[in-house]
Structure 1
Amino acid sequence: MTFTTKKVLLGATSLLVLATTAQAQEASTSADTENMDFEEIIVSAQKTTFANNATDTTMLDQEPDAASVLSVIDNLPGIFVSEGGALGSDDWSTTLSIRGFTVSLSEQQVGMTIDGLPNGNSNYGGGAKANRYIDSENLYRAEVSQGTADIASPSHEALGGTINFVTSAPYEEQRFWAGLSIGENNSQRYFFRYDTGEIAPGTRAYLSYSNQSTDAWIGDAGGATRDHFAAKIVSEQDEWTFTGRLSWDDTHENNFQRISLAQFEEDPDWDRLTDTITGIPYVDQVYRPAWGTLRENWFAYVKAEYKGEDFDFSVSPYYHDNEGRGDWIPPYMIAVAGGDEQANGTIFGGPAAGSYVYTDSNGTPLAPIDGCTATLSFPYGGGAPANNPACYEAGARPNSSYRHTHYGKQRFGVTADAAYRLGDMNTIRAGIWWENSDRNEYRDWHRVIDPTVGIEFDDIAYWRQYDRSFETDTLMVYAEDTVELDDLTLRGGLKKFFVDLTRTDNFGNEAEQGLESDSDILFTAGAIYNVTDNLEFFAGFSQNFAAIKDGVIEGRASETNPNVPDLEGETADNYDVGIRFGNNWLRATVTGYYVKFNNRITFVSAGDPVGGIDYLEEGEGTYLNVGGIESKGIEASISADFAEHWNIYSSLTLNNSEYTETTAEVVEGNKVALAPEFQLVGTLSYYNEGVRAGVSAKHVGERYGDFANTQELPSFTLVDAWIGYTVDENVIPGIQTIDVSLNVSNLTNKNYLGGGTPGSYFIGSDRQVIANLTVKF
Structure 2
Amino acid sequence: MKNLLSAKTKSFLSFKQSRLNWVILYSSLWVSGAMAQNTVPPQPATDDTSSQQHAVTDNSANHPAKNDGAIVVTGRSYADGVTRRAFGGGLMIKEDSPKSKSTLTRDYIEKQTPGLNPMQLIALLPGVNSSDSDPMGLTGGHTSVRGMNESSMGYILEGFPLNDVGSHAVYPQEIVDSENLSTIQVAQGSADLDSPTVSAAGGVVNMHMIDPAKKMGGRANFTYGSYNTFRGFARFDTGEIGNSGTRAYFSFSDTHEDLWRGPGTEKKLHGEMKVVKEWGKDNKASLLVIGNNLDNINMPSVNMASWQKYGKGIMGGPVSGIANTVYSSVYTGNTKANTTYYKLHPNPFTNIYVSAPVHLNLGHKMTLTETPYFLYSNGNGGGAYWQDMNKMSYGSQTMSGTVDGQNYGQTLLYEPSITKTYRSGSTTKWTWTSGINRLMIGYWFEYSSQRQTAPYSLLNDDGSPRDKWGGGSNVILANGEKAEYRDNLTRTFIHTPFIGDTISLLNDKLTIDGGVKISIINRQGRNYLPDTSTGKNINQTYREVLPSGSIRYKINDEHQVFFSVATNYRIPMNTSLFDSGSYVAGTGYSNQAVKDLKPETSISEEFGWRYHGKLINTSLTYFHYDFHNRLFSQTVIDPNNPTSYYSRSINGGNQTTNGVDFEIGTRAIYNIRPYVSAEYIDARNRSNLAASAAGVSAILPTKGKFAPQTPRYQVGFGLDYDNGHIFGNFSLKYVGSQYSTFMNDEQVPSYVRMNIGGGYRFKSWGGLKSPTIRFNLSNITNKHYLNYASGLQTNAQYAKALDGQMVKGSAPTYSIASPFSAMFSISSGF
The two structures share one fold, judged by TM-score above 0.5: yes
Alpha-carbon distance, 1:268 to partner:
3.0
CA distance in 1, matches of 2:111, 2:245: 34
CA distance in 2, matches of 1:716, 1:167: 33
CA distance in 2, matches of 1:563, 1:757: 18
Instruction: Give runs of aligned pairs for residues 135-534 of structure 1, distance below 5 A.
Output: 135-199=177-241, 200-219=243-262, 221-239=263-281, 240-270=283-313, 271-279=325-333, 281-307=335-361, 308=363, 310-337=365-392, 365=409, 399-423=411-435, 425-450=436-461, 453-457=462-466, 459-463=472-476, 464-465=483-484, 466-486=486-506, 487-506=509-528, 510-519=535-544, 521-534=545-558
Q: 1:712 aligns with which of 733, 747, 756?
A: 747
The superposition leaves residues 174-213 of structure 1 with CA deviations (integer Å, 9 ceiling, x where unpaired) of 1132211111111101111000111143221100011111
The 3-state SS of whatever aligns with 1:518 is: strand
Q: 2:152 aligns with which of 94, 98, 109?
A: 109
CA distance in 2, matches of 1:682, 1:551: 39
The 3-state SS of whatever aligns with 2:191 is: coil
For 1:50, the equivalent position in structure 2 comes to 99
Counterpart code for 2:162: N
Counterpart code for 2:187: S
Q: Is the 8 A contact 1:99 1:657 kept in 2?
A: no
CA distance in 2, matches of 1:269, 1:470: 38
Residues 1:697 and 2:732 are matched in the alignment: yes
For 2:763, the equivalent position in structure 1 comes to 728
Q: Is the 8 A contact 1:741 1:772 kept in 2?
A: yes
Alpha-carbon distance, 1:504 to partner:
1.7
For 1:19, the equivalent position in structure 2 comes to none
| Change over 3 Å in CA distance of 1:624–1:711 after alignment to 2 | closer
| Change over 3 Å in CA distance of 1:338–1:702 after alignment to 2 | closer
Counterpart code for 1:700: V
Instruction: Give runs of aligned pairs for residues 93-108 of structure 1, distance below 5 A.
Output: 94-103=141-150, 108=151
Instruction: Give runs of aligned pairs for residues 558-637 of structure 1, distance below 5 A.
Output: 566=596, 568-600=598-630, 627-637=653-663
Q: Is the 8 A contact 1:682 1:696 kept in 2?
A: yes
| Change over 3 Å in CA distance of 1:449–1:89 after alignment to 2 | same
CA distance in 1, matches of 2:398, 2:494: 36
CA distance in 2, matches of 1:246, 1:330: 38
Alpha-carbon distance, 1:126 to partner:
8.8
The 3-state SS of whatever aligns with 2:82 is: helix
For 2:47, the equivalent position in structure 1 comes to none
Q: Is the 8 A contact 1:739 1:775 kept in 2?
A: yes
| Change over 3 Å in CA distance of 1:562–1:63 after alignment to 2 | closer
RMSD over equivalenced CA pairs, Å: 3.0
Counterpart code for 2:101: N
| Change over 3 Å in CA distance of 1:645–1:770 after alignment to 2 | same
Instruction: Give runs of aligned pairs for residues 39-78 of structure 1, distance below 5 A.
Output: 39-40=82-83, 42=90, 43-44=92-93, 46-78=95-127
Q: Is the 8 A contact 2:135 2:778 kept in 1?
A: no
The superposition leaves residues 405-448 of structure 1 with CA deviations (integer Å, 9 ceiling, x where unpaired) of 1110001100011221121x111111111000100001111122
Q: Is the 8 A contact 1:290 1:455 kept in 2?
A: yes
Structure 2 gaps of 5+ residues are: 1-65, 314-324, 477-482, 581-586, 635-647, 692-699, 793-811
| Change over 3 Å in CA distance of 1:78–1:143 after alignment to 2 | same
CA distance in 1, matches of 2:76, 2:182: 7
Counterpart code for 1:416: T
Q: Is the 8 A contact 1:86 1:216 kept in 2?
A: no
Q: Is the 8 A contact 1:252 1:293 kept in 2?
A: yes
Instruction: Give runs of aligned pairs for residues 624-663 of structure 1, distance below 5 A.
Output: 627-641=653-667, 643-663=669-689
Alpha-carbon distance, 1:567 to partner:
5.2
The 3-state SS of whatever aligns with 2:690 is: coil
Alpha-carbon distance, 1:337 to partner:
5.0
Counterpart code for 1:324: G
For 1:394, the equivalent position in structure 2 comes to none
Matched length: 676
For 2:37, the equivalent position in structure 1 comes to none
Alpha-carbon distance, 1:167 to partner:
1.1
Alpha-carbon distance, 1:74 to partner:
0.7
For 1:768, the equivalent position in structure 2 comes to 821
For 1:18, the equivalent position in structure 2 comes to none
The 3-state SS of whatever aligns with 2:212 is: coil
| Change over 3 Å in CA distance of 1:456–1:442 after alignment to 2 | closer
Q: 2:791 aligns with which of 738, 753, 757?
A: 757
The superposition leaves residues 582-609 of structure 1 with CA deviations (integer Å, 9 ceiling, x where unpaired) of 21211111111011111335899xxxxx
Counterpart code for 1:495: K
Alpha-carbon distance, 1:662 to partner:
1.6
The 3-state SS of whatever aligns with 1:87 is: coil
| Change over 3 Å in CA distance of 1:564–1:636 after alignment to 2 | closer
For 2:320, the equivalent position in structure 1 comes to none
CA distance in 1, matches of 2:398, 2:168: 25
| Change over 3 Å in CA distance of 1:352–1:109 after alignment to 2 | farther
CA distance in 1, matches of 2:233, 2:517: 42
Alpha-carbon distance, 1:152 to partner:
1.1
CA distance in 2, matches of 1:626, 1:256: 27
The 3-state SS of whatever aligns with 2:385 is: coil
Compute the TM-score of the two structures, normalised by the length of structure 2: 0.76
CA distance in 2, matches of 1:558, 1:542: 42
CA distance in 1, matches of 2:499, 2:441: 4
CA distance in 2, matches of 1:750, 1:35: 37
Alpha-carbon distance, 1:285 to partner:
2.1
| Change over 3 Å in CA distance of 1:625–1:739 after alignment to 2 | closer
| Change over 3 Å in CA distance of 1:272–1:30 after alignment to 2 | closer
Alpha-carbon distance, 1:57 to partner:
3.8
Alpha-carbon distance, 1:770 to partner:
0.8
| Change over 3 Å in CA distance of 1:532–1:708 after alignment to 2 | same
CA distance in 2, matches of 1:652, 1:354: 60
Q: Is the 8 A contact 1:541 1:576 kept in 2?
A: yes
Q: Is the 8 A contact 2:575 2:593 kept in 1?
A: no
Alpha-carbon distance, 1:30 to partner:
4.5
CA distance in 1, matches of 2:149, 2:633: 18
CA distance in 2, matches of 1:741, 1:531: 43
Q: Is the 8 A contact 1:50 1:149 kept in 2?
A: no
The 3-state SS of whatever aligns with 2:689 is: coil
Alpha-carbon distance, 1:309 to partner:
5.9
Alpha-carbon distance, 1:352 to partner:
5.6
Counterpart code for 1:462: V
CA distance in 2, matches of 1:552, 1:566: 9
